[in-house]
């Protein structure tokens, strides 16, 4: 009898132990399953079931103001209370509509250029759209601009012919130097005129001297600055830059000024040594590829019209100010 009782007690102890072990095992397995679900399946389900996951934030910040926000990032929705608006928010709230002039005061001025310490000895270490800007040719080299060999090297008569000018046209020769092109242009513009523009006062002195010496009255000299051609708005039919554009220290600003000075549909002509050809014996930074020139002119809203390749070593690249401006001007005049 005793023996049977002992056996039953031993058996029931074993069962209890087994039950406890099974319970522990199922708890562990359950926890692993929950863990796996939470880490793997739940986020995926939440993503699927709750695309509009909610985010509640409370921030206390002196400069930004206290903020309680209830946001639904997926829906780009924020419902929040901000008892103390920031100064920027207060300013923006007072602005009636988007005004580019006000925006230009608030938004930082865009810098179009990058500077690199490692650069060509012929450049200024400043790059525009990947091109290093060349050093300006000083006035002490003015005589070189008048060298007789230029006649066959650059064929200036072919350049003038490629412009297809009307006698009444007004042309700006920008980076005019000694006026090698300004005075040739003036002969074509019997009823028009030439603005001979340069940043070096010494070049302007030379231009004035030659103008008086040759009694030329349709060339007007303009001393400009590196960021502004100083030309009247919508006054020119064509802007010519021969071997000059690659030296502009602020090409973007200069071109914006030139575009402003152009009449609607007016043209910009760049004459530059072909950089695509390594055998043209001119310093690399004093040459330009067509691709680069097109990129830089497009940056100021000019459209490429054509490239004349009739010169021995230079591109004659012709661009145009959009004609839409003409329609806009006409309609704004009509409103007035
Ligand atoms: C190599 S010379 C060419 C002169 C002339 N176009 C010619 O073909 O004989 C370049 C001229 O561009 C002028 N220049 C450079 N940067 C300029 C700028 N931002 N605005 C106007 N002229 C500039 C220089 O002072 C220099 O006289």
Is residue 17 a contact partner of residue 10, using CB atoms and an 8 Å limit? no
Residue 195 confidence (pLDDT): 98
pLDDT of residue 54: 47
C-alpha 233 to ligand 1 mean position (Å): 21
Q: Identify the residue whose C-alpha is closest to ligand 1 atom 14.
A: 175
Residue of minimum CA distance from atom 10 in ligand 1:
244
pLDDT for 231 equals: 98
Q: Are 299 and 251 in contact (CB under 8 A)?
A: no
Name the token pair of 125. 């270490």
Pocket test for ligand 1, best of 133, 134, 136 (most atoms within 8 A of CB): 136
CB 184 within 8 A of CB 176: no
Q: Domain ranges in the chain?
A: 1-49, 55-106, 123-335
Are the beta carbons of 250 and 227 closer than 8 angstroms? Answer: yes
Taking the domain 123-335, which CATH number applies?
3.40.50.150
Structure confidence at residue 37 (pLDDT): 55
Q: What pLDDT score does 324 carry?
A: 61
Nearest CA to ligand 1 atom 11: 175
Centre a 10 Å sphere on the Cβ of residue 277 and count the other Cβ atoms it contains: 11
Strand partners, 33: none
| End-to-end Cα spacing for the chain | 122
Stated pTM of the model: 0.69
Cα(224) to ligand 1 centroid in Å equals: 11
What confidence score (pLDDT) does residue 46 get?
41
Is the CB of 136 within 6 Å of ligand 1?
yes
Residue 13: per-residue pLDDT: 74
So what's the pLDDT on residue 40?
A: 52
Per-residue pLDDT tens digits of the chain, which is 336 residues long: 455 555 565 566 777 788 888 887 888 887 877 766 555 554 444 444 433 344 444 444 444 444 555 444 444 444 555 445 555 556 555 655 545 455 555 555 568 999 999 999 999 999 999 999 999 999 999 999 999 999 999 999 999 999 999 999 999 999 999 999 999 999 999 999 999 999 999 999 999 999 999 999 999 999 999 999 999 999 999 999 999 999 999 999 999 999 999 999 999 999 999 999 999 999 999 999 999 999 999 999 999 999 999 999 999 999 999 986 455 554 454 443
Is the CB of residue 154 below 6 angstroms from any atom belonging to ligand 1?
Answer: no
C-alpha 121/C-alpha 143 separation (Å) is: 23
Q: Tell me the sheet residues that pair with 72.
A: 77
Residues 6+ apart with CB under 8 A from 56: 68, 69, 70, 71
How far is the centre of ligand 1, averaged over its atoms, from the C-alpha of 243 (Å)? 7
Ligand 1 atom index nearest CA of 251: 19
User: Alpha-carbon distance 276 to 294, whole Å?
Assistant: 14
60 vs 66, 71, 83, 89, 93, CA distance in Å? 4, 17, 11, 16, 21
Query: Does 247 sit in the ligand 1 pocket, CB within 6 Å?
Result: yes
């Amino acid at each position: 009898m005793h023996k049977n009782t002992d056996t039953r007690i031993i058996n029931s102890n074993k069962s209890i132990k087994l039950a406890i072990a099974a319970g522990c095992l199922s708890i562990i397995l359950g926890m692993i399953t929950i863990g796996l679900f939470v880490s793997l399946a739940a986020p995926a389900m939440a993503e699927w079931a709750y695309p509009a996951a909610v985010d509640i934030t409370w921030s206390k910040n002196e400069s930004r103001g206290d903020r309680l926000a209830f946001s639904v990032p997926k829906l780009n929705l924020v419902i929040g209370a901000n008892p103390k608006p920031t100064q920027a928010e207060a300013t923006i709230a007072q602005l009636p509509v988007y005004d580019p002039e006000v925006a230009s005061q608030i938004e930082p001025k865009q810098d179009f250029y990058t500077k690199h310490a490692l650069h060509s000895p012929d450049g200024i270490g400043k790059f525009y759209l990947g091109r290093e800007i060349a050093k300006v040719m000083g006035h002490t080299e003015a005589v070189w601009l008048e060298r007789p060999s230029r006649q066959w090297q650059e064929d200036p008569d072919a350049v003038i012919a490629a412009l297809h000018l009307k006698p009444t046209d007004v042309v700006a020769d920008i980076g005019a130097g000694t006026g090698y092109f300004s005075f040739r242009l003036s002969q074509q513009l019997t009823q028009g005129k030439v603005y001979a523009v340069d940043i070096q006062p010494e070049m302007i002195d030379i231009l004035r001297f030659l103008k008086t010496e040759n009694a030329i009255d349709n060339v007007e000299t303009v001393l400009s600055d590196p960021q502004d051609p100083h030309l009247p708005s919508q006054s020119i039919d064509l802007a010519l830059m021969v071997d000059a554009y690659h030296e502009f220290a602020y090409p973007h600003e200069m071109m914006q000024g030139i575009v402003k000075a152009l009449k609607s549909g007016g043209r910009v002509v760049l004459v530059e040594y072909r950089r695509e050809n390594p055998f043209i014996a001119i310093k690399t930074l004093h040459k330009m590829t067509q691709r680069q020139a097109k990129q830089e002119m497009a940056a100021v809203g000019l459209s490429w019209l054509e490239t004349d390749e009739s010169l021995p070593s230079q591109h004659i690249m012709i661009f145009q100010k959009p004609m839409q401006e003409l329609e806009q001007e006409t309609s704004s005049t009509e409103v007035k």
